[in-house]
Amino acid sequence: MDIRVRHASHAYGGLAVLSDIDLVAPAGKILCLVGPSGCGKSTLLRLMGGLERPTSGAIELVGAPPSGCLNELTFVFQHFALLPWASVEGNVRFVLDHHRLSEAERAEIVADVLARTGLADFAEAWPRQLSGGMRQRVAIARALAVRPAVLLMDEPLSALDSQTREILMEDLVGLWTRAPFTAVYVTHNLAEAVRLGHAVAVMSRRPGRIREIVAIDTPLSERRPDDPELERVQARLWSLLRDEAIDADRELVDG
Protein backbone atom coordinates (compact mmCIF):
# COMPACT_ATOMS: atom_id res chain seq x y z
CA MET A 1 0.00 0.00 0.00
CA ASP A 2 1.34 3.44 -0.95
CA ILE A 3 0.79 6.51 1.16
CA ARG A 4 0.48 9.73 -0.80
CA VAL A 5 0.68 13.31 0.43
CA ARG A 6 -0.97 15.79 -1.94
CA HIS A 7 -0.34 19.49 -1.71
CA ALA A 8 -0.43 19.32 2.05
CA SER A 9 0.24 22.45 4.05
CA HIS A 10 0.09 22.85 7.77
CA ALA A 11 0.21 25.75 10.18
CA TYR A 12 0.08 26.06 13.95
CA GLY A 13 -1.80 29.26 14.66
CA GLY A 14 -0.01 31.71 12.41
CA LEU A 15 3.16 29.62 12.10
CA ALA A 16 3.40 27.95 8.69
CA VAL A 17 5.18 24.66 9.30
CA LEU A 18 4.67 22.71 6.07
CA SER A 19 4.13 24.21 2.66
CA ASP A 20 2.67 22.34 -0.31
CA ILE A 21 4.18 18.92 0.38
CA ASP A 22 3.83 16.39 -2.44
CA LEU A 23 5.27 13.02 -1.60
CA VAL A 24 4.70 9.33 -2.17
CA ALA A 25 5.96 6.58 0.09
CA PRO A 26 5.84 3.56 -2.20
CA ALA A 27 4.81 0.13 -0.97
CA GLY A 28 7.57 -2.16 0.20
CA LYS A 29 10.17 0.61 0.36
CA ILE A 30 11.71 2.72 3.09
CA LEU A 31 11.48 6.46 2.48
CA CYS A 32 13.79 8.51 4.66
CA LEU A 33 12.96 12.07 5.53
CA VAL A 34 15.76 14.45 6.47
CA GLY A 35 15.74 18.16 7.03
CA PRO A 36 16.95 20.86 9.39
CA SER A 37 15.64 20.94 12.95
CA GLY A 38 12.13 22.36 13.22
CA CYS A 39 11.35 22.03 9.51
CA GLY A 40 8.23 20.00 10.21
CA LYS A 41 9.35 16.38 9.77
CA SER A 42 7.55 15.16 12.87
CA THR A 43 4.51 17.19 11.90
CA LEU A 44 4.48 15.62 8.43
CA LEU A 45 4.70 12.18 10.01
CA ARG A 46 1.81 12.93 12.35
CA LEU A 47 -0.23 14.10 9.37
CA MET A 48 0.58 10.89 7.52
CA GLY A 49 -0.40 8.85 10.56
CA GLY A 50 -3.70 10.63 11.03
CA LEU A 51 -2.80 12.08 14.41
CA GLU A 52 -3.34 15.56 13.03
CA ARG A 53 -5.25 17.02 10.08
CA PRO A 54 -3.42 19.12 7.48
CA THR A 55 -4.55 22.73 7.24
CA SER A 56 -4.96 22.16 3.52
CA GLY A 57 -4.27 19.36 1.07
CA ALA A 58 -4.84 15.65 1.53
CA ILE A 59 -3.19 12.45 2.67
CA GLU A 60 -4.29 9.35 0.75
CA LEU A 61 -3.80 5.64 1.01
CA VAL A 62 -3.48 3.92 -2.34
CA GLY A 63 -4.10 0.20 -2.73
CA ALA A 64 -5.10 -2.56 -0.38
CA PRO A 65 -3.37 -3.11 2.97
CA PRO A 66 -1.48 -6.40 3.41
CA SER A 67 -3.59 -9.35 4.50
CA GLY A 68 -4.06 -9.66 8.24
CA CYS A 69 -3.20 -5.99 8.73
CA LEU A 70 -4.60 -4.73 12.05
CA ASN A 71 -3.38 -1.14 12.07
CA GLU A 72 -2.49 0.38 8.71
CA LEU A 73 -0.45 3.34 9.89
CA THR A 74 1.77 2.39 12.80
CA PHE A 75 4.22 4.60 14.66
CA VAL A 76 7.57 3.87 16.24
CA PHE A 77 8.37 6.76 18.56
CA GLN A 78 11.68 8.35 19.41
CA HIS A 79 11.17 7.83 23.13
CA PHE A 80 9.66 4.37 22.74
CA ALA A 81 6.28 5.17 24.42
CA LEU A 82 6.14 1.86 26.30
CA LEU A 83 3.61 1.37 29.08
CA PRO A 84 5.84 1.24 32.18
CA TRP A 85 3.30 -0.85 34.10
CA ALA A 86 3.13 -3.57 31.48
CA SER A 87 5.72 -6.27 30.83
CA VAL A 88 7.34 -6.62 27.42
CA GLU A 89 4.66 -9.10 26.45
CA GLY A 90 1.98 -6.88 27.99
CA ASN A 91 3.13 -3.98 25.85
CA VAL A 92 2.76 -6.03 22.70
CA ARG A 93 -0.59 -7.41 23.82
CA PHE A 94 -1.86 -3.93 24.58
CA VAL A 95 -2.14 -3.15 20.86
CA LEU A 96 -3.74 -6.52 20.05
CA ASP A 97 -6.32 -6.77 22.83
CA HIS A 98 -8.98 -4.62 21.16
CA HIS A 99 -8.87 -6.69 17.95
CA ARG A 100 -11.07 -9.68 17.33
CA LEU A 101 -8.49 -12.43 17.62
CA SER A 102 -8.56 -15.78 19.34
CA GLU A 103 -6.23 -16.20 22.29
CA ALA A 104 -4.21 -18.68 20.22
CA GLU A 105 -3.77 -16.16 17.41
CA ARG A 106 -2.75 -13.51 19.90
CA ALA A 107 -0.19 -15.74 21.56
CA GLU A 108 1.17 -16.71 18.17
CA ILE A 109 1.61 -13.09 17.05
CA VAL A 110 3.29 -12.16 20.34
CA ALA A 111 5.66 -15.12 20.18
CA ASP A 112 6.45 -14.39 16.54
CA VAL A 113 7.33 -10.69 16.95
CA LEU A 114 9.29 -11.26 20.16
CA ALA A 115 11.31 -13.94 18.39
CA ARG A 116 11.91 -11.71 15.36
CA THR A 117 13.19 -8.87 17.52
CA GLY A 118 15.27 -11.12 19.77
CA LEU A 119 13.13 -10.49 22.84
CA ALA A 120 11.82 -14.01 23.43
CA ASP A 121 13.73 -14.31 26.72
CA PHE A 122 12.52 -10.95 28.01
CA ALA A 123 8.76 -11.41 27.68
CA GLU A 124 8.19 -11.00 31.43
CA ALA A 125 10.58 -8.08 31.99
CA TRP A 126 9.42 -4.57 32.90
CA PRO A 127 10.49 -1.76 30.56
CA ARG A 128 12.56 -0.16 33.34
CA GLN A 129 14.72 -3.27 33.46
CA LEU A 130 15.68 -2.93 29.79
CA SER A 131 18.38 -0.88 28.09
CA GLY A 132 17.39 1.80 25.60
CA GLY A 133 18.11 -0.45 22.66
CA MET A 134 15.99 -3.24 24.10
CA ARG A 135 13.16 -0.81 24.78
CA GLN A 136 13.14 0.34 21.20
CA ARG A 137 13.14 -3.31 20.13
CA VAL A 138 10.00 -3.77 22.19
CA ALA A 139 8.44 -0.79 20.42
CA ILE A 140 9.43 -2.27 17.06
CA ALA A 141 8.01 -5.65 18.06
CA ARG A 142 4.79 -3.93 19.10
CA ALA A 143 4.62 -2.14 15.75
CA LEU A 144 5.22 -5.35 13.81
CA ALA A 145 2.55 -7.18 15.83
CA VAL A 146 -0.26 -5.24 14.16
CA ARG A 147 1.08 -6.13 10.67
CA PRO A 148 1.23 -2.49 9.58
CA ALA A 149 0.81 -1.34 6.01
CA VAL A 150 3.13 1.60 6.67
CA LEU A 151 5.56 2.07 9.54
CA LEU A 152 6.00 5.70 10.55
CA MET A 153 9.27 6.04 12.41
CA ASP A 154 10.21 9.35 14.02
CA GLU A 155 13.92 9.29 14.82
CA PRO A 156 13.57 5.79 16.27
CA LEU A 157 17.28 5.41 16.97
CA SER A 158 18.28 8.89 18.03
CA ALA A 159 17.78 8.25 21.75
CA LEU A 160 20.33 5.43 21.55
CA ASP A 161 24.11 5.37 21.67
CA SER A 162 25.94 4.87 18.39
CA GLN A 163 26.87 1.20 18.90
CA THR A 164 23.29 0.26 19.79
CA ARG A 165 22.11 2.32 16.83
CA GLU A 166 24.40 0.38 14.51
CA ILE A 167 23.04 -2.94 15.81
CA LEU A 168 19.42 -1.83 15.54
CA MET A 169 20.03 -0.60 12.01
CA GLU A 170 21.28 -4.05 11.09
CA ASP A 171 18.20 -5.52 12.79
CA LEU A 172 15.92 -3.26 10.74
CA VAL A 173 17.70 -4.22 7.53
CA GLY A 174 17.32 -7.88 8.51
CA LEU A 175 13.63 -7.45 9.30
CA TRP A 176 13.04 -5.67 6.02
CA THR A 177 15.00 -8.21 3.97
CA ARG A 178 13.04 -11.13 5.41
CA ALA A 179 9.66 -9.41 5.10
CA PRO A 180 9.74 -6.09 3.21
CA PHE A 181 7.63 -3.41 4.88
CA THR A 182 6.71 0.11 3.86
CA ALA A 183 8.19 2.81 6.06
CA VAL A 184 8.61 6.53 6.36
CA TYR A 185 11.70 7.05 8.44
CA VAL A 186 12.51 10.48 9.88
CA THR A 187 16.09 11.01 10.95
CA HIS A 188 18.75 13.64 11.57
CA ASN A 189 21.45 11.15 10.93
CA LEU A 190 22.49 11.02 7.27
CA ALA A 191 24.44 7.79 7.77
CA GLU A 192 21.19 6.20 8.95
CA ALA A 193 19.33 7.63 5.96
CA VAL A 194 21.73 6.17 3.41
CA ARG A 195 21.81 2.79 5.18
CA LEU A 196 18.05 2.36 5.45
CA GLY A 197 16.47 4.49 2.73
CA HIS A 198 15.50 3.36 -0.74
CA ALA A 199 14.96 7.04 -1.26
CA VAL A 200 15.80 10.07 0.87
CA ALA A 201 13.59 13.13 0.77
CA VAL A 202 15.39 16.31 1.76
CA MET A 203 13.25 19.04 3.26
CA SER A 204 13.94 22.76 3.31
CA ARG A 205 13.83 24.76 6.51
CA ARG A 206 10.52 25.95 7.93
CA PRO A 207 8.02 26.21 6.29
CA GLY A 208 9.12 22.77 5.16
CA ARG A 209 8.98 21.82 1.48
CA ILE A 210 10.39 18.81 -0.31
CA ARG A 211 13.61 20.10 -1.82
CA GLU A 212 14.81 16.98 -3.51
CA ILE A 213 14.33 13.24 -3.45
CA VAL A 214 17.51 11.20 -3.80
CA ALA A 215 17.09 7.55 -4.81
CA ILE A 216 19.62 4.97 -3.62
CA ASP A 217 19.69 1.82 -5.74
CA THR A 218 22.06 -0.41 -3.75
CA PRO A 219 19.98 -3.19 -2.12
CA LEU A 220 19.69 -2.71 1.66
CA SER A 221 21.37 -5.99 2.50
CA GLU A 222 24.46 -5.06 0.45
CA ARG A 223 25.03 -1.68 2.05
CA ARG A 224 28.14 -1.40 4.23
CA PRO A 225 29.04 1.48 6.52
CA ASP A 226 32.10 2.43 4.41
CA ASP A 227 30.55 1.90 0.96
CA PRO A 228 32.00 4.67 -1.30
CA GLU A 229 28.75 4.94 -3.26
CA LEU A 230 26.83 5.55 -0.05
CA GLU A 231 29.42 8.03 1.11
CA ARG A 232 28.95 9.91 -2.13
CA VAL A 233 25.18 10.04 -1.62
CA GLN A 234 25.67 11.10 1.97
CA ALA A 235 28.00 13.95 0.90
CA ARG A 236 25.38 15.06 -1.61
CA LEU A 237 22.65 15.02 1.04
CA TRP A 238 24.86 17.02 3.34
CA SER A 239 25.54 19.65 0.69
CA LEU A 240 21.77 19.96 0.16
CA LEU A 241 21.14 20.26 3.86
CA ARG A 242 24.08 22.42 4.86
CA ASP A 243 22.79 25.77 3.69
CA GLU A 244 19.31 25.04 5.00
CA ALA A 245 20.74 23.98 8.33
CA ILE A 246 22.88 27.08 8.66
CA ASP A 247 19.94 29.33 7.78
CA ALA A 248 17.57 27.42 10.05
CA ASP A 249 20.02 27.73 12.92
CA ARG A 250 20.43 31.47 12.36
CA GLU A 251 16.67 31.91 12.13
CA LEU A 252 16.19 30.39 15.58
CA VAL A 253 18.91 32.55 17.06
CA ASP A 254 17.48 35.74 15.55
CA GLY A 255 13.87 34.79 16.20
Partner 1 sequence: MVDLSPARQPREADARPVPFRGGGFAPGRNRWAGLVVFVALIAFFEVGTRTGVISSLTMPPPSAVAQTLWRLVETGLLWQNLGPSLYRLAMGSLVGCGAGILVGFAIGLFTLARAGLVPLVSALFPIPKIALLPLFVIWFGIGEGSKVALIAFGTFTPTVVATFGAVDGVDRGLIRMAQSFGVPWLRIVTRVVLPDALAGILSGLRVSLAIGIVLLVAAEMLGARYGIGAYILEAGALYDLERLFAGVVILSVLGLLVSAGIGALERRLLRWRG
Ligand X SMILES: Nc1ncnc2c1ncn2[C@@H]1O[C@H](COP(=O)(O)OP(=O)(O)OP(=O)(O)O)[C@@H](O)[C@H]1O
**Whose Cβ is closer to ligand X: residue 42's or residue 189's?**
42
Contacts to ligand X by CB under 6 A: 12, 15, 17, 35, 37-43, 206
SS3 139: helix
For 172, residues 6+ apart whose C-beta sits below 8 A from its C-beta are 140, 196
Instruction: Please state the closest distance from residue 236 (CB atom) to ligand X, in A.
Output: 20
Out of 28, 42, 171, 180, the residue judged to bind Mg ion by CB under 5 A: 42
CB-nearer residue toward ligand X: 232 or 250: 250
Cα 207 from Cα 59, distance rounded (Å): 18
Prior bond of 228 cis (ω within 30°): no
Shortest distance (Å) from residue 40 CB to Mg ion = 8
Site for partner 1 in 206-235 (CB under 8 A): none
Phi (first) and psi of residue 223, to 5 degrees: -80, 135
- Residue 253's alpha-carbon distances to 55, 106, 248, in angstroms, are 27, 51, 9
Q: How far apart are CA 86 and CA 193, in angstroms?
A: 32
- The CA-atom distances, in angstroms, between 17 and each of 221, 228, 243, 245 are 35, 35, 19, 16
Q: Is 125 in the site for partner 1 (CB under 8 A)?
A: no
- Judged by beta carbon, residue 73 or residue 230, the one nearer partner 1 is 73
User: Which of the ranges 67-75, 162-170, 174-182, 228-236 carries the binding residues for partner 1, by CB under 8 A?
Assistant: 67-75
81 binds, among partner 1, Mg ion, ligand X, none (CB under 5 to 8 A by kind): partner 1
| Chain positions contacting partner 1, by CB under 8 A | 49, 51, 70-71, 73-75, 77, 79, 81, 83-86, 94-95, 97-98, 126, 128, 142, 146
